[in-house]
Structures are given as structure tokens and as C-alpha cells.
Chain A
């Protein structure tokens, strides 16, 4: 009966570092960038921690001390951290910290230990979402194909964030530049393939034009 179980694949075999290998939900879409005419890149897995705190308040202050930057108070915005990460406003007392420079099991306890005594909370959500980068001249057209948010740089410049739908997937959309050519999309891991397939389909005309 063990025959039903396929053998271990090379991509997930024991790693040379001795650490347990990770898998990315979009490992199976290696041609995502090519198939989207260069517009979409799946970013590496990134440490992400959801932070809850009253703002202003001691928990928010504690978070700012850990992150090196104040939690953004303005709805629909994000700020950069000194460590090269981002803090995204998700609600009046809710933020998402993205930090590519550390591990979840380092960042969550550090934030939690600082926040919990002050009435806040921190939860590791690193595996909850996948990050996609959209860039170039097609970025806004791909978004307009399925997202109702106005992404015009005059109203959605760098530093803006929105929780919205792209096609039928909930996403967090971040504007990274003021020229309407650079965005990040955070999508639930279980929806990542759907969204990748949708983006590839949305790029059909652009792909054909490029070919």
C-alpha cells in the first residue's frame, strides 16, 4: 500500500545546510515571469508577522522600538523599516510586518514579547501569503483587468496600500513607485496558483504582442 506514496522529489530532499527545505507555492510556475510578458515575479518566501496594537499607545510604541519605525497611522499606507522590510497598515489596530532579513521564529517572539505586556499581539503569518512583484509598463493594465482600485499614481503613489480583490482573490496591494510601474501583491498562499494562472491569462494579449 505504500506504493501509493510517491518518492521524495529532488526539490524537497535533504538540504545541504541541514535545515528543513522550504517549498514555495509557485515553485511549480517557474515560467510565471515569461508567461506574463515580464510583468510578474514571484518573490522569495518572506517573514511576515501580524501586529495588533492600540495607536497611539504603549504597544504601538513597543512595536516601533522593535521595528525601528513607527507603525503607520494613515489608513491604506505602508512604510519601510530600517532593516529593509515594510510595515503595512491593515486596520486601525492592525499591521503586517514584512521582513526578508530575519526568520519568523526570531521576529514573532521578539515582537510578541515587546507587545503582549502592553496589550498588543504578534502572530507569525509568514506562510499565510505569497508576495508577487508587478513591474513595468504592463503592471497597471494587469491590475485594471481585475482590481477595482484606482492605481493611478496621482491617487496611489509609492507608500499607498490597499486590501482589495484582484480577480476573485483577496490581495494586499502595495505601490512601490510614483510612476505607476512598480507594485507588490500579497496573496493568500492557497490562492497563489489561482492568481498566478489568472495573471498569465490576463497577459495573453501582451504575451502575443511580445512574441
Chain B
């Protein structure tokens, strides 16, 4: 299919590299270097889609990211919603279609890679137009570490859409030489197709690089599709250019209507004529260039409609020389056409007849908005410059400078000069020796006539309902009027009332116009109204890009113990405990979780089991005041513990609520090993450090995490003594009760490796914890398993561990407690010292609320039917004397915190926090389970071996 609107030559497209793509079901041919928009325009296709609310035809309104209307859905090579035709590069196999406002996410996983890089530079230059290139060159020659970041496919910025000369030759040749010099500089990172979308404190900027989007299906699989750059710059030069803005008039949304400068870009960069017969509406000199250059390229320019009464003499002469009519003091009051503009309706500004001028292209320029987004994100203040008719930066920030058109510069020479100067200023501040780069010469620009400030052209009938301010949101002047009528004044409020500026383009063309319209309607200037806040991201960034490689297996670190591979080979089913992978149970062939856990529990209660408890937190506490520190942090006394002994302890917050528990080994006179819960490991160390460093720095004590230093294996059950004796007997250990008492520890050496054995039981059974350097964990574990074979040693997981401890009424902090539970509530008043003068939490135990009889207390629950496993979290309720539930709201007595099936009891049981629970022992209460009430008996929390006869074997 031929492209009738492609020029015969010129442009940056590669005319020898055609690409085939499909848009809206029709196949087209474009050229490498085209955007979807330029390729469609080359075929005379202006309408891209229809609008979100009104269904009006919409086309290509601009040539880059400021376009409010050309939204498309990419379908191939991978579904990508809400892309702009103007920023989507075409490639072979691209399939897309227009979308009215909303796209569609892929319903299959995105297999593309996304990644990120950190980058540190002295100078970040945003924008590779004339100002940015000059800034980067200056910094590079001065030996600075530089990042030059630009969002287009090649450097040049505005120069890509002009015929400007620099140093007497085409400007892009100058740009090309500069890019080559930058590429050869060792400390320069030059990124194209990369958008700096956010600027934050301390010189931090985020950018997204589109690395392979333009390659389509030919993109190498291993190369990340997009990359987030996290840039830390000591100074930033924002050289982001300016966006042309429209003038609002009736039916200004018809396809064929576009910004004047964009038509120049389509011509010079892409070699595409945006129409055959054009009308140009302008408030300033810049659009005359578009008129003249399009006319020179063969477009019939029917008229230049200038709102100003006096037209610039230079441009009037240029137009006259080409036979272009210039209508001064006039405006376009409307358009005609259906899916494409056919006429511009032109009238004098002071009234009079409307002249319908035939055209298929209506170019509009309402002036230029410096792209101040990044400056404004960094909290730079803006002020309206009446002579330029634009909001400008009011200066520089500590570490951010603005140069070129983004700072209001209008001439190419000014942009080049400002770019170099801003860079030099920044480099001097950084203490670098500046090597100045001469400002290249540029031809003299024609004299500038002051621009007109026109936001809207009144409708001939006063109807503002088709005067579009935000094309993407179908929001009109009428909507702004309605907002003001509702009493809203701030552009922030008007934005939210009308939704203007909330679409994909975030108001790049509509935002300042809205401020102008508000000012016009309220009487006053745009400065009185101001703008809405500029926020990141500058252009949309996909969540997949931000997620980067933190997905799938790498979404969150998986922490593994030294025995992980053994567990894998043993067929463990995993439980995620924080970031740890812990075996939950080890099913044998054909076993479900219930069967496996009953088997594992039975083994530990009747034979011997072994658990990988290595995730338990471990803290080494050293120094002459080690005991004193522990006395102040635990509720019970630790300093009285003899070397060689073990004590269980509870830690409370200052509010008296339990925050952690575990055992403490006194290793030496001045050394303890504190064991914490798995989940509490990091926070307990922080807690201890905080008290030590901020309250008691005088204590001579040092803390160190040794969680991963030591692997820990409880060997549990009546036959555990046999296993321990078999493995460590040859090293001199005597595991008999008399020689190795409960809550004592002993060190030994196994084939050269130190091992610590401690008689600690979290199951009520005879048990040893085996502590060994994780270097030797596998070897020691395998020795234990080997030695246990004659006794049927059974590895068990967290589920069995939970059942065994619950049968004994041992709480899990964080499961049976929730930060509102005291040791007394847990029935552990015995662990709270009455003798110690003070410890964290002590004073709170005297609070009246902590002494209430009806506090929730930990109790056991036994379902009377002996079959129901109460769901954890179930509410506990009490029946009225009538035997019925009391009328709603039914008072809640508490809730089930742990619930299991017990092999030992041969029935299910539960732990629960119940109001005044201990006094209810023996009573029946009820638990609603799936719509029925299950009667349960309240008991003490210790259901197995309450007299503690089993712990010595």
C-alpha cells in the first residue's frame, strides 16, 4: 500500500527499510523511524479513535507525548494498553487499534524482562535538544561524570523537527558530532528513548528506558524490554524544551486539527505531509514557520489566521511571496466535517461574517508552555510571564537548573548559550575545572512580534459545550464554567471537578489553558490562578517496569537453612515463616497433611522426632553487665542463672504486653545466649539495642546476632536419649538424667566440631536441642538421623511442632497473643518476678485494666463432639439461660487462637483467649462453625501431661 502523503525525500526515517504493520484491521507499510502516528498520516489516516464519553472522532493532535488524543491499544507482539500513536515506534508485525479512553491489559503473563540500574553522576542533563547537548558537551569536556537522558529515539530535541542551521550546517550534523564525542567520553552515559519521569529530593531522579519496544517481536528475549534508571545526580540541568499549546474553539477536536509545530515535525523528521490544504490559526510568530515550510513542501496553505491585529512584517512578506493569505485580527470560530475537518470557520475577532475556508488540515498555535514539569516536581516555583504568555521557572533550585526553552528561551542561540552556561555554573559549584565549549553560531532570527494571549475563541452562538479543553476527558469550556458556577476557584479543584488534566497526558496541553480560562472567566490573570501541581510520573510508567526483576522466584528473598536440601530430598511441604522456608510436614506416599501430622506427633510422643529449629533467633550477649541487661528486659530474673543452666523467659513492652519469649543459656559468667522466636529475631535484637544504647549506655554489654551462626535441632521424644547417647556418647556425653538434667546444657566436640547440647523441651517430652555451627549442620543432622533409625526417628515440621506445644499449653507469641496479652493472661504469672526492683513492663502490671478479672485469658477448649476442629479465629460465645443465643449483637467472649487434632488425646482441641477464662474451667461455651453452634468445654491450657512427668523420659 503506497503512502501518498510521504514526501519524496528527507526526514529521519529510513526509506530503504519498510515495515509492515496493522492498524484497526488494515495493513499498512511504514518506514523504520516512523511512529505509528507518522506512518498513519503518511497514508492520510487522521482519525485514530473515538472519544471516551461522546464518541467523537479523534485524530493525531501532536507529534509526541503531549498528544491528548491518539490513544491506541497494542495487540501484537504483546498487549499493551493506552499507548500513544505519536510515541509508538512502528516495527514489522505491530498490530494496534485505537481505543476510546481505556485499553485492555493482557490476560496472559508478560514474559518480557524488566530491570533497573543505579547511576551516580556529577551532572544529569535531561533533554538532548540544543540546550541539553551543549550542557552535556561542556560537562563531558570538563571531565565530569555525566548522564544525558532524552526520551526520543535519537538526540536533537526540537531540532529534529526544523531546518535550523548550527555552525553553518544542518543542526542535526552538529548533534551527531556531539553524540559521537559523548560516546567516546569515558564518564558519560548517554541514554535515548529514556524518559526522566520523576525528580525527587537530593538530586534523585527516576527514568525509564525503552530498550527494545521499537524492535517488536524481534527483540532479543534476554534483553530487558524496559529499564528503570535510579539516578543520583549532584546537579541536574533540566533542558526539556517546550510544548506548544492549543487555542480552544468550537469543534476543535476534529481529526485534521493539530498543533502547528507538530506538523513541522511530521514534515521534517518523518517526511510526512499532514494534509493537502491547510489553515493555520496562531497567536504568535512560531506558526508562520509551519505555514511557510509546509507551503514549500507542497501543501496548499489557504490562510494564516492571526489573532493579532498587527501581523509580523517579516512573516507577512514570507507568506506574500508564497501567495499565502494572512488574516489579521481573526480567529477560527469552529470547524466543519465529520471524521475529518473539511472547513475552518474563520471570522474577524470583532465579529462579522463567518467564512468557511475549505481545508483538510487545521494547524493551531496558542503559544508555548515551557516543560517545567521536573522543575516543578522538585518544588520549583512558577510565575506567569505576560510578555511570553507562559508560566516560567522563577529561578533555580539548590541542585537543579533549567535551561533553554524550558526556561522560556525562544531563540536557538539562547538555548545553546543557556545550556552551556547552566552546565558551567553547576560544574563550578562542584569544584570542577570547566572547559568551556564555544557557543556554535546560528543564523540571525527574524524579529519577534509580541504574542497574543488567547485561551478561547467565543462560539458564535455562545455554545461552549463543544469547545474541548481536555480532549482525552471530553471536558469542555462548559465544564469549566459549571465548576466555577459550583463555587470552585482553585485549578486543583476545577481539575478534580472536571477531570481536566487527569488522563494519560496529565494535562500537557490542557493544564495551562484551563488556568487561562479560569482567569478569563473570573477576571484576573493566569498568575492569580496558578497551575495545578506537577507530579511524577511525567509520562505513564507500567507497573511491570517498576516491579523489574522483583517478581516470580525473586519477588521476595527466600531464606533457607543449612538443611534446606535435606528437607527437599525428604519431600517436605513448605511453610513460609516470614522470608524463611520451613518444612511444614514431610508426607509419606499417599499421606495428606492430617495423616502426616498425626504420624509425626505420635512419633515425637512415643519414639523420637527431629525438627530443624535453625530459624529461631539467637543473640550473643557478652560483657560484665550482660545479666543486668537481661534482668531489665525479661520479666524474670536471669542474672541468677548458673553457668551451664537454661531458663525460659518472657519479654514485655513498656505496656506490659508480651512481645517475645524463649530460652536463655548462660554460657559463661559474662556471656549468655538468648533464643528468640523466629519472627522476633530481628526486632528483639533491635529492642535490646535500643534500650541499651538510649537508656542504659553505661551497661558493659555487647550484643550480636548469631541466628545463622548456629543451627539448632530439637531431638524430641522418649527415645531421644538413645539417639543423643549414640551420637555424642563417644565424645564423652552422658545423657542420663543424673548427668544431664532438664534445663541444662553441655558442650562437646564431634570429630573436631564444637557442639552444644541443651535439654530444652517445647513439647513436654524428653528432648535435647543440638546447637552446631551451620558449617556442620548437615553432617550433625545426618548423624542424628542415622543414629535414630533403629528408633524410627521421624523428621517433623512446624505443624507438628505447633500441635505438640499446644497440647502442653505453650503459647506462640504472635499467634496466641496479639500485643494485648500479658504474661498473667497467659497463665504465666510465675514468669514475672516479684523481687526485681524494675524491668520493662513492670509498672504496667499494676494498672487497673491489667488487673481486671474479666481480661481475656489463655484457656484450652475441648469440642464436646470430639470431632470438630474449630477454625482458628472463630468467636467464642455464651448461651443465655434459655439455652438460646442472646439477641444480637451477641456478646463475644473471645476467640480461638490455635486449633489442632491431637494424636495423643485422640480428639481435636484448641487454645483460646476467653474473657475471665480461667474461672470458666469446666463450663460449656459455644463456638459458631459454619452456621452451627459447637459446644466446647473450657479447660486449663495444658492438656497433655499436666504434671510434667514426661520431660525426663
A→B interface (CB under 8 Å): 1-6, 8-9, 12, 18-23, 25, 28, 45, 50, 52, 104-105, 112, 116, 119-121, 123-129, 141, 144-150, 152, 155, 167-169, 188-191, 193-195, 197-198, 201-202, 204-205, 207-208
Which of chain A's residues have a CB closer than 8 A to the CB of B623? Answer: 116, 119, 121
> Which of B351-359, B394-402, B646-654, B773-781 makes up part of the contact surface?
B773-781
B522 at the A/B interface (Cβ < 8 Å)? no
Which of chain B's residues have a CB closer than 8 A to the CB of A124? Answer: 706, 709, 773
Q: Across the two chains, which residue of chain B brings its CB closest to A192?
A: B560
> Which of B110-118, B657-665, B901-909, B935-943 makes up part of the contact surface?
B110-118
Which of chain A's residues have a CB closer than 8 A to the CB of B603? Answer: 1
Which of chain A's residues have a CB closer than 8 A to the CB of B237? Answer: none
B534 at the A/B interface (Cβ < 8 Å)? no
Q: Tell whether A128 pairs with B708 under 8 Å between CB atoms, given A8-B786, A20-B752, A204-B113.
A: yes
Tell me how far the C-beta of A162 lies from the nearest C-beta in chain B, rounded to whole angstroms: 13
Which of chain A's residues have a CB closer than 8 A to the CB of B786? Answer: 8
Which of chain B's residues have a CB closer than 8 A to the CB of A123? Answer: 620, 622, 704, 706, 709
Tell me how far the C-beta of B952 lies from the nearest C-beta in chain A, rounded to whole angstroms: 24
B580 at the A/B interface (Cβ < 8 Å)? yes
Q: Is the CB of B560 within 8 A of A104?
A: no
Q: Is the CB of B549 within 8 A of A201?
A: yes
* Contact indicator per residue, chain B 219-259, by CB within 8 Å of chain A (1) or not (0): 01011100000101000000000000000000000000000
Q: Is the CB of B622 within 8 A of A116?
A: yes
Q: Tell whether A8 pairs with B752 under 8 Å between CB atoms, given A20-B776, A190-B561, A194-B559.
A: no
Of A5, A105, A150, A205, the contact of B785 (CB 8 Å cutoff): A5
Q: Across the two chains, which residue of chain B brings its CB closest to A53?
A: B702
Q: Is the CB of B113 within 8 A of A188?
A: no
Q: A4-B570, A189-B774 are in contact. List 15 more A-B contacts (CB 8 A).
A: A4-B588, A4-B794, A5-B795, A19-B751, A23-B778, A50-B704, A52-B704, A120-B702, A124-B706, A125-B709, A141-B117, A144-B117, A145-B115, A169-B557, A193-B564
Q: Across the two chains, which residue of chain A brings its CB closest to B785?
A: A5
Q: Is the CB of B752 within 8 A of A22?
A: no
Which of chain A's residues have a CB closer than 8 A to the CB of B119? Answer: 144
Q: Is the CB of B569 within 8 A of A6?
A: yes
Q: Is the CB of A45 within 8 A of B775?
A: yes
Q: CB within 8 Å of A: which of B762-791?
A: 773-780, 782, 785-786, 788-789
- How many contacts A-B (CB < 8 Å)? 171
Q: Is the CB of A201 within 8 A of B554?
A: yes
Q: Across the two chains, which residue of chain B brings its CB closest to A23?
A: B778
Which of chain A's residues have a CB closer than 8 A to the CB of B550? Answer: 167-168
Tell me how far the C-beta of A46 lies from the nearest C-beta in chain B, rounded to whole angstroms: 10
A152, B146: Cα distance in complex, Å: 13
Interface size band for B: 35 or more
A190, B710: Cα distance in complex, Å: 12
Q: Tell whether A1 pairs with B776 under 8 Å between CB atoms, given A6-B566, A25-B562, A168-B556.
A: no
Q: Tell whether A18 pairs with B751 under 8 Å between CB atoms, given A2-B792, A2-B793, A194-B554.
A: yes
B586 at the A/B interface (Cβ < 8 Å)? yes
A-B contact pairs, 6 of them (CB 8 A): A20-B752, A123-B622, A129-B708, A144-B118, A148-B118, A201-B554
B→A interface (CB under 8 Å): 113, 115-120, 145, 220, 222-224, 230, 232, 549-550, 553-554, 556-562, 564-566, 569-571, 580, 586, 588, 599, 603, 607, 620, 622-623, 670, 700, 702, 704-711, 750-754, 773-780, 782, 785-786, 788-789, 792-795
Tell me how far the C-beta of A29 lies from the nearest C-beta in chain B, rounded to whole angstroms: 11
Of B571, B704, B708, the contact of A127 (CB 8 Å cutoff): B708
Which of chain B's residues have a CB closer than 8 A to the CB of A121? Answer: 622-623, 702, 704
Q: Is the CB of A12 within 8 A of B571?
A: no
Listed from nearest, the 4 A-B pairs whose CB atoms lie closest are A121-B702, A127-B774, A150-B120, A190-B559
A190, B618: Cα distance in complex, Å: 14
Which of chain A's residues have a CB closer than 8 A to the CB of B224? Answer: 205
Which among B607, B708, B786 has the highest number of chain A CB atoms within 10 Å? B708
A105, B750: Cα distance in complex, Å: 13
Which of chain A's residues have a CB closer than 8 A to the CB of B222? Answer: 204-205, 207-208
A127, B712: Cα distance in complex, Å: 13
Q: Across the two chains, which residue of chain A brings its CB closest to B588?
A: A4
Which of chain A's residues have a CB closer than 8 A to the CB of B751? Answer: 18-20
Tell me how far the C-beta of B136 lies from the nearest C-beta in chain A, rounded to whole angstroms: 18
Which of chain A's residues have a CB closer than 8 A to the CB of B569? Answer: 6, 9
Q: Is the CB of B779 within 8 A of A22?
A: yes
A127, B780: Cα distance in complex, Å: 15
Tell me how far the C-beta of A45 lies from the nearest C-beta in chain B, rounded to whole angstroms: 6
Which of chain A's residues have a CB closer than 8 A to the CB of B702? Answer: 52, 120-121
Which of chain A's residues have a CB closer than 8 A to the CB of B571? Answer: 4
Q: Is the CB of A128 within 8 A of B705?
A: yes
Tell me how far the C-beta of A164 lies from the nearest C-beta in chain B, rounded to whole angstroms: 11
Of A5, A23, A120, A141, the contact of B562 (CB 8 Å cutoff): A23
A4, B780: Cα distance in complex, Å: 17
A124, B117: Cα distance in complex, Å: 36
Q: Is the CB of B118 within 8 A of A4?
A: no
Which of chain A's residues have a CB closer than 8 A to the CB of B561? Answer: 190
Q: Is the CB of B753 within 8 A of A125?
A: no
A22, B776: Cα distance in complex, Å: 5
A150, B231: Cα distance in complex, Å: 10
A105, B756: Cα distance in complex, Å: 13
A6, B778: Cα distance in complex, Å: 12
Q: Across the two chains, which residue of chain A brings its CB closest to B754?
A: A105
Q: Across the two chains, which residue of chain B brings its CB closest to A27?
A: B565
Which among B569, B570, B622 has the highest number of chain A CB atoms within 10 Å? B622
Q: Is the CB of B789 within 8 A of A2?
A: yes
Q: Is the CB of A6 within 8 A of B753?
A: no
Which of chain A's residues have a CB closer than 8 A to the CB of B220? Answer: 208
Which of chain B's residues have a CB closer than 8 A to the CB of A126? Answer: 709, 773, 775
Q: Tell whether A1 pairs with B792 under 8 Å between CB atoms, given A125-B704, A197-B554, A208-B222.
A: yes
Q: Is the CB of B562 within 8 A of A191?
A: no
Which of chain B's residues have a CB closer than 8 A to the CB of A144? Answer: 117-119
Q: Is the CB of A188 within 8 A of B708?
A: yes
Q: Is the CB of A190 within 8 A of B708?
A: yes
Tell me how far the C-beta of A168 lies from the nearest C-beta in chain B, rounded to whole angstroms: 5
Q: Tell whether A4 pairs with B708 under 8 Å between CB atoms, given A144-B118, A190-B561, A204-B222.
A: no
Q: Across the two chains, which residue of chain B brings its CB closest to A168?
A: B557
A22, B753: Cα distance in complex, Å: 10
Q: Tell whether A21 pairs with B562 under 8 Å between CB atoms, given A152-B145, A198-B554, A201-B549.
A: no
